[in-house]
Chains A and B, each alone.
Chain A
Amino acid sequence: MEDFKPNIIGFLCNWCAYSGADSAARAEMQIPENINIVRVMCSGRIDPQFVLQAFKEGADGVLILGCHPGDCHYKEGNYNALRWYALLKETLEQFGIEEGRFVLDWVSAGEGDKFVRITRDMVTKIKLLGPLTLRKD
């Protein structure tokens, strides 16, 4: 399992989390190479289908980052994400998708260090879990 490089899809909201990732890059912090970022306008815009599609296409983990509660550019979008995330996470556990593979957190535009910490933690956890293999015929 030494060679296993987890493939993580990160859905980042345009206003906070994406700027946070940007600020990490500008500060030349080391961002794990495993994370592939998809910029969305709001964490509340993400459809649970996107998460499943990512797992289906080979993601070992899916990360959702939005604005801190109360800071949403659209007022309530991140609460919406929090609600469907809670429901989808428990649903996915029944599919055998472990907790560490599907993470939601809040990152503000200035929290480059938090972005790096979350992604590194996720990579470490998923390395221990191993690759995600879909059901075979």
Chain B
Amino acid sequence: MSKPKIALYWCSSCGGCEEVVVDLAENILKLAETFDIVFWPAVLDFKRADVEALGDGELAFALINGAVRMSEQEYMVKLLRRKSKLVISHGSCACFGGIVGLANFSSKQEVLNTVYKDLPTVNNPCGIIPQEKTEEFGRTIELPAFYNTVKSVNQVVEVDYYLPGCPTTPELITDAIAAIVEGKLSGKGAVLADSRVLCDTCSRRDSKPERLTIAEFKRVYETELDPERCFLEQGVICLGPATRGGCKERCLKGNMPCRGCFGPLDNVSDFGAKCVSMLASLLGAKDPQDIKKIMDSIPDKAGLFYKYSLAVSLLRGKVNE
């Protein structure tokens, strides 16, 4: 009997999520034993036409990482949806728009101007910006359309399961694939990570006082961090109390506070709003001037609270453009 077929694809991403698949190490051999990988642009030389030639629903699952910003990505995501029984959003960009989703704080034109004209390392004297269609030497060159807004995968197609994280962990991928093989997946739409916040299982949890009253936030480089004590207790912002766990505390083990890449728990409609709520509850100040002083110690608030989730936030990005 032939093995079930699977596909892996990347959209707007950095490649880190591909790296995690490689980090499966010897488990990747098990993956190849169980499944026939028919499409994986980062690693294998199969083309779009090979996917188009498949029957609808022929793939057991498609693991898609990266956000959707271009027409080609939208086409591929829709194509893979049609060809797959299950679509899994792999990584924070696919799940929530991720870091690339921060581009929703700028317009399409601002992004293009920065990248192709304004950056000090750019040498573009004619001010050429890529076009969807270019006529040159009697030929027409076509590029995919660059959309105004970054989207998560589930804003384009129906997604069955989510594997959050920037990147997610090899363990979570292994568990998810094992669950698919054994037919033990939880309800559709589930996030295949911890159902508790990171703070709940944090190894530094014991040093977190019952009640925190923070008078000023320090940045990581402004203080010498104790590698064992709670970051918040040390006056450094940690989004662990608002973020889903399951990341194996990779950042915390490197003595860096949580930045929320695993996203919110179920039933949260806006991760950034939850961070606002969580941090505000840790302050003791009552006087507006004192509160203002604490607020001033947090640079780039929106960039911090929406670092991974701007594309799926309630406002989705900058308003009144």
What residues make up the interface of A, taking CB atoms closer than 8 Å to B? 47-49, 51-53, 55-56, 69, 79-80, 82-84, 86-88, 90-92, 94-97, 130, 132-137
- Evaluate contact between A87 and B319: CB separation under 8 angstroms: no
Q: Does B203 contact A (CB under 8 A)?
A: no
Chain B residues, Cβ within 8 Å of A137: 147-149, 151
Residue among B104, B149, B280, B286 with the highest chain A CB neighbour number at 10 A: B280
- Evaluate contact between A88 and B295: CB separation under 8 angstroms: no
Q: Does B90 contact A (CB under 8 A)?
A: no
Q: Tell which of B277, B288, B318 touches A82, judged by Cβ atoms closer than 8 Å.
A: B288
Chain B, Cβ-Cβ closest to A76: B286
Q: A95-B302, A135-B317 are in contact. Are A83 and B283 (CB under 8 A)?
A: yes
Complexed CA–CA distance, A39 and B105 (Å) = 33
- Evaluate contact between B280 and A83: CB separation under 8 angstroms: yes
Chain B residues, Cβ within 8 Å of A47: 273, 277
Chain B residues, Cβ within 8 Å of A130: 320
Chain B, Cβ-Cβ closest to A133: B320
Q: What are 16 contact pairs spanning A and B, CB under 8 A?
A: A49-B273, A52-B270, A52-B273, A53-B269, A53-B270, A69-B286, A83-B291, A84-B276, A87-B295, A87-B301, A90-B301, A94-B300, A134-B315, A135-B148, A136-B149, A137-B151
- Evaluate contact between A94 and B319: CB separation under 8 angstroms: no
The 5 residue pairs across chains A and B that have the minimum distance between CB atoms? A94-B302, A84-B280, A48-B273, A83-B280, A52-B314
Residue among A51, A87, A94, A96 with the highest chain B CB neighbour number at 10 A: A87
Q: Does B5 contact A (CB under 8 A)?
A: no
- Evaluate contact between B279 and A87: CB separation under 8 angstroms: yes
- Evaluate contact between A91 and B320: CB separation under 8 angstroms: no
Q: Tell which of B151, B272, B292, B319 touches A86, judged by Cβ atoms closer than 8 Å.
A: B292
A67 to B: closest C-beta gap in Å: 14
**B: contact size bracket:** 35 or more
Q: A82-B291, A86-B295 are in contact. Are A135 and B315 (CB under 8 A)?
A: yes
Chain B, Cβ-Cβ closest to A93: B302
Q: Tell which of A48, A79, A95, A96 touches B277, judged by Cβ atoms closer than 8 Å.
A: A48
Chain A, Cβ-Cβ closest to B321: A135
Given contacts A52-B270, A91-B301, A95-B317, 4 further A-B contacts (CB under 8 A): A49-B268, A80-B280, A83-B283, A134-B315
A19 to B: closest C-beta gap in Å: 23
Chain A, Cβ-Cβ closest to B279: A87
B251 to A: closest C-beta gap in Å: 22
Complexed CA–CA distance, A135 and B104 (Å) = 8
Complexed CA–CA distance, A91 and B319 (Å) = 13
Chain A, Cβ-Cβ closest to B301: A91
- Evaluate contact between A95 and B315: CB separation under 8 angstroms: yes
- Evaluate contact between B320 and A132: CB separation under 8 angstroms: yes
- Evaluate contact between B105 and A94: CB separation under 8 angstroms: yes
Chain B, Cβ-Cβ closest to A134: B319
Complexed CA–CA distance, A87 and B288 (Å) = 11
Chain A residues, Cβ within 8 Å of B314: 49, 52-53, 55-56
Q: Does B131 contact A (CB under 8 A)?
A: no
Chain B residues, Cβ within 8 Å of A97: 319
A8 to B: closest C-beta gap in Å: 16
- Evaluate contact between B147 and A90: CB separation under 8 angstroms: no
B162 to A: closest C-beta gap in Å: 20
Chain A residues, Cβ within 8 Å of B305: 91
Q: Does B134 contact A (CB under 8 A)?
A: no
Q: Tell which of B147, B268, B276 touches A87, judged by Cβ atoms closer than 8 Å.
A: B276
- Evaluate contact between A135 and B273: CB separation under 8 angstroms: no
Q: Does B281 contact A (CB under 8 A)?
A: yes
Complexed CA–CA distance, A84 and B277 (Å) = 6
- Evaluate contact between A135 and B318: CB separation under 8 angstroms: yes
A101 to B: closest C-beta gap in Å: 9
- Evaluate contact between A86 and B147: CB separation under 8 angstroms: no
